[in-house]
């Protein structure tokens, strides 16, 4: 896989470039330099662990938008079986930015709904860069109502800002949860996108910060370097979490689920104010 390195990963990128060059030398010249390669690989591993053990909120925000991260269809491929995509809103058109379909999660029928961006220019235009139009939301609502009719659990893979309602909220380790990007926040508050790093720290948008605020049920750990380094490992970690949470929810009464969901959502943003003495 041809990885794209972010600015803070440049020391890692330089080591990886040296490793790649040495591998070509080994193959082209038929010489054994495995010891030198092993040393460089160990250095790269240690450096990656050092950098990723101390990421700032701004760096995690950048990582969450890495163009190589897995998208909905990547997770569908690695997590679900018997996926059958459903198209159209039955009112106007289909929206490729939203992928919906029936599938099985270890034999359990589920409805999968998720955003889908593109990898190359043609696909990005086709998917509208993962930005849904009204027909996309209508399609999602249509299949949600279908799932409700047949009592099928709904799993939403969210890859955009300001959306998400469910019984459980699970975030990947290097994902973010926010109603606006740090750049957008900085432009509003300070009239300059140069303050994006400050905005990211103040907003508390990372998975660990969201968990501290009580909005999050679980953080799914990613492979070293981020989910784009290993789709399969990331997907399997997510699959294990989905199975566990689904097992808990499937044994609860529907009326109880609805009441808990309502109370959960209404609790967001609640605060108490003490009168001054």
| pLDDT tens string 65-97 | 999 999 999 999 999 999 999 999 999 999 999
88 and 214 co-located in one domain:
no
64 and 185 co-located in one domain:
yes
- Give per-residue pLDDT as tens, 164-221: 788 999 999 999 999 899 999 999 999 998 999 999 999 999 999 999 988 899 999 9
CATH number at residue 152: 3.90.226.10
Residues 204 and 214: their CA atoms lie apart, in Å, by 12
* Residue at which a domain ends, from 100, 131, 158: 158
* Tally of domains within the chain: 3
127 and 85 co-located in one domain:
yes
* Residue at which a domain ends, from 136, 158, 180: 158
DSSP conformation class of 176: B
224 and 167 co-located in one domain:
yes
Residues 19 and 1: their CA atoms lie apart, in Å, by 14
Reply yes or no on whether the pLDDT at 162 is more than 60.
Answer: no
Whether residue 146 lies inside any domain: the answer is yes
Cβ-Cβ contacts under 8 Å for 249 (sequence gap 6 or more): 153, 167, 168, 257
Residues 92 and 83: their CA atoms lie apart, in Å, by 24
- Give per-residue pLDDT as tens, 9-45: 999 999 999 998 988 887 777 777 888 889 999 999 9
Whether residue 205 lies inside any domain: the answer is yes
Whether residue 213 lies inside any domain: the answer is yes
93 and 36 co-located in one domain:
no
- Give per-residue pLDDT as tens, 91-107: 999 999 999 999 999 99
Q: Which among 113, 110, 83 has a CA at the least distance from the CA of 98?
A: 113
> Which of 72-81, 90-99, 154-163, 253-262 has the least mean pLDDT?
154-163
Q: Please give the structure tokens belonging to residue 229.
A: 């380094």
Average pLDDT of the residues of the chain: 92
Residues 117 and 159: their CA atoms lie apart, in Å, by 9
**Contact in structure between 86 and 100 (CB atoms under 8 Å):** yes
66 and 76 co-located in one domain:
no
233 and 247 co-located in one domain:
yes
Whether residue 275 lies inside any domain: the answer is no
66 and 96 co-located in one domain:
no
pLDDT band per the 50, 70, 90 thresholds, residue 247: very high
**Contact in structure between 56 and 201 (CB atoms under 8 Å):** yes
173 and 261 co-located in one domain:
yes
Whether residue 272 lies inside any domain: the answer is no
Q: Which among 192, 199, 194 has a CA at the least distance from the CA of 178?
A: 199
Task: Read off the pTM.
Answer: 0.90
49 and 103 co-located in one domain:
no
pLDDT band per the 50, 70, 90 thresholds, residue 265: confident
What pLDDT, on a 0 to 100 scale, did the predictor assign at position 134?
96
Give residue 41's domain range.
Answer: 7-54
172 and 135 co-located in one domain:
no
Whether residue 113 lies inside any domain: the answer is yes
Whether residue 61 lies inside any domain: the answer is yes
Whether residue 117 lies inside any domain: the answer is yes
């Amino acid at each position: 896989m041809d990885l794209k390195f972010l600015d803070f990963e440049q020391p890692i990128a330089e080591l990886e470039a040296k490793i790649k060059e040495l591998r070509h030398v080994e193959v082209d010249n038929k010489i054994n330099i495995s010891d030198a390669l092993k040393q460089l690989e160990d250095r790269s591993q240690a450096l990656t662990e050092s950098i990723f053990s101390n990421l700032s909120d701004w760096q995690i925000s950048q990582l969450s938008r890495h163009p190589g991260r897995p998208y909905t269809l990547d997770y569908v491929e690695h997590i679900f079986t018997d996926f059958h995509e459903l198209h159209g809103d039955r009112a106007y058109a289909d929206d490729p930015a939203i992928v919906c379909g029936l599938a099985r999660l270890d034999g359990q029928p589920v409805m999968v709904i998720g955003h889908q961006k593109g990898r190359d220019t043609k696909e990005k235009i086709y998917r509208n860069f993962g930005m849904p139009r009204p027909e996309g939301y209508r399609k999602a609502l249509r299949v949600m109502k279908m799932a409700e009719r047949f009592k099928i659990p709904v799993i939403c893979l969210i890859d955009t800002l300001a959306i998400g309602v469910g019984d459980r909220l699970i975030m990947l380790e290097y994902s973010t949860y926010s109603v606006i990007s740090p750049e957008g926040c900085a432009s509003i508050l300070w009239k300059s996108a140069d303050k994006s790093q400050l905005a990211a720290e103040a907003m508390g948008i990372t998975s660990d910060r969201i968990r501290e605020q009580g909005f999050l049920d679980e953080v799914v750990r990613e492979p070293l370097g981020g989910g784009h380094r290993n789709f399969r490992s990331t997907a399997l970690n997510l699959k294990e979490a989905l199975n566990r949470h689904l097992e808990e929810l499937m044994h609860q009464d529907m009326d109880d689920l609805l009441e808990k969901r309502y109370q959960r959502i209404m609790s967001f943003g609640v605060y108490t104010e003490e009168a001054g003495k």
